[in-house]
Structure 1
Amino acid sequence: MSRKVAALVLAAGASSRLGQPKQLVEFHGERLIDRAIRIAQQAGASPIFVVLGAEHERILDALTTSDSGTRILINKGWKRGMASSLALGAAAAERVGADDLLVLTCDQVTVTPEHLMRLMEGSHREHVVASYYSGRRGIPALFPDFAFHALQDLTGDTGARDLLQDDAVFTVPLPGGEFDVDTPEDLHRLRAMEHDSAHSRVQIGSIEDTKRSPAEDLA
């Protein structure tokens, strides 16, 4: 029997240290919130719940997704911390009968659809599966339905950190997972990453252009 994996994109914070909504920061021409929705879709999650809070009207206006599988949740209590968004998302996943809930933020740009799929493959509905980076467990993480009530009972701004410390939690390595966009310095680093990857693509294209076939040489 196939599993119903819902996703929860945490995007309710005020980005106070960054000085602008991180949700609307662009990376390779794509807003971070749109990117998070896209990679969750590409991993096969549905429905995708997006929790908004601070400046939710501005962010809603900027969203480009038109997929009916994306559902917006407004967290009026977003100032209480990340736990309030997790509780909101877990309750929504429970209502739609999801077997698992894949939790991710919008600003971890090293996360790929392939990594999310590896989290999903590691669970079998028996284990919480967390990403592993910088010597610790964190999100993105996948929570089977047995953990939904625990997510709804969380309080404060530590998120699901305590739930991920159990010895029964499986882990999937995520190189660079510690990088997120919280400060102007992080944004500067993001721009450098963007430039470096674009430069690499140009170099690869130049190398490929020089690899002419014998037929091309005779043309």
Structure 2
Amino acid sequence: MNTGTIILAAGSSSRLGRPKQLLDFNGKTLLSHVIDEVQEAGIQPIIVVLGANASVFKQEIKDTKVVILENEAWKTGMASAIQVGVSEITKQYDVENLIIAVCDQPHISSAIFTSLINKKNSTGKGIIASTYQNIIGTPVLFDKKYFDALKALTGEEGAKKIVKHYTADVETVAFENGEIDIDTETDYLNLQHKISK
């Protein structure tokens, strides 16, 4: 069952004050880390959607085997980045499923991506979401029957809107420490502190 991945990396990291995509985590940037983990899981194609600071990020990932897209409407919210990624992946590739991932979850691993695909294969559910701290979140896998719904999202709407709407078709996998993301300088300092322990 062919599965592609869209990595959302278009935001401006306004609360952090600098691009979170380039923050160092265990010797890699967060953006490089998530790309490496998707590749480790053997998933292709990988679409990276950039927006703010796109030229800088292109340089960072120029040697990776990913398709780089620019979302010129990134200021309008997350939905536009999802639309750009889903439109490209459905136009250029024959995929049965796609996984939407973000680049500010430092504890993301290839095992999580593999678990999403395995759960889809074993349950036949159309949406497989990650769960942490009783929250359903990213990364999340969508069957192709939801691609049009993803493309119809607007503004600040994220994929979670679809997950909440089709709860009967949702299965989950546990993502330990998935709730840890980087939105502020304090988040990043806390992460570094945990690593150094």
Q: TM-score, normalised by structure 1?
A: 0.84
What is the number of equivalent residue pairs in this alignment? 192
Which structure has the bigger radius of gyration?
1
Give the superposition deviation at 1:92: 1.5
User: Is the CA contact 2:16–2:185 (under 8 Å) kept in the aligned structure 1?
Assistant: yes
The C-alpha deviation readout for 1:100-124, integer Å capped at 9, x for no partner, is 1111111101211011100011113
User: Is the CA contact 1:34–1:64 (under 8 Å) kept in the aligned structure 2?
Assistant: no
Trace 1:83-162 onto structure 2 (pairs within 5 A): 83-95=79-91, 96-124=93-121, 126-162=125-161
Q: Distance in 2 between matches of 1:30 and 1:16?
A: 21
The C-alpha deviation readout for 1:180-217, integer Å capped at 9, x for no partner, is 11101011012113213xxxxxxxxxxxxxxxxxxxxx
**Residue number in structure 2 paired with 1:20:** 18
SS of 2:138 mapped into structure 1: strand
Give the superposition deviation at 1:99: 1.1
Q: Distance in 1 between matches of 2:30 and 2:96?
A: 27
Q: Distance in 2 between matches of 1:94 and 1:117?
A: 21
Q: Percent identity?
A: 35
**Residue number in structure 2 paired with 1:56:** 54
Q: Distance in 2 between matches of 1:49 and 1:16?
A: 23
Q: Distance in 2 between matches of 1:42 and 1:150?
A: 29
**Residue number in structure 2 paired with 1:208:** none
**Residue number in structure 1 paired with 2:190:** 189
Give the superposition deviation at 1:66: 3.1
SS of 2:38 mapped into structure 1: helix
Structure 1, unaligned runs of 5 or more? 197-219
- The residue identity in structure 1 corresponding to 2:127 is V
Runs (4 or more) in structure 1 with deviation over 4 Å come to none
**Residue number in structure 2 paired with 1:209:** none
Q: TM-score, normalised by structure 2?
A: 0.93
Q: Distance in 2 between matches of 1:8 and 1:66?
A: 14
- The residue identity in structure 1 corresponding to 2:19 is P
RMSD: 1.2
The C-alpha deviation readout for 1:2-49, integer Å capped at 9, x for no partner, is x21111110000001111101110101101111111101111210100
Q: Distance in 1 between matches of 2:181 and 2:36?
A: 18
2:73 corresponds to which of 73, 77, 92: 77
**Residue number in structure 1 paired with 2:43:** 45
User: Is the CA contact 1:51–1:74 (under 8 Å) kept in the aligned structure 2?
Assistant: yes
SS of 2:49 mapped into structure 1: strand
Give the superposition deviation at 1:126: 4.0
User: Is the CA contact 2:51–2:72 (under 8 Å) kept in the aligned structure 1?
Assistant: yes
Give the superposition deviation at 1:63: 2.0
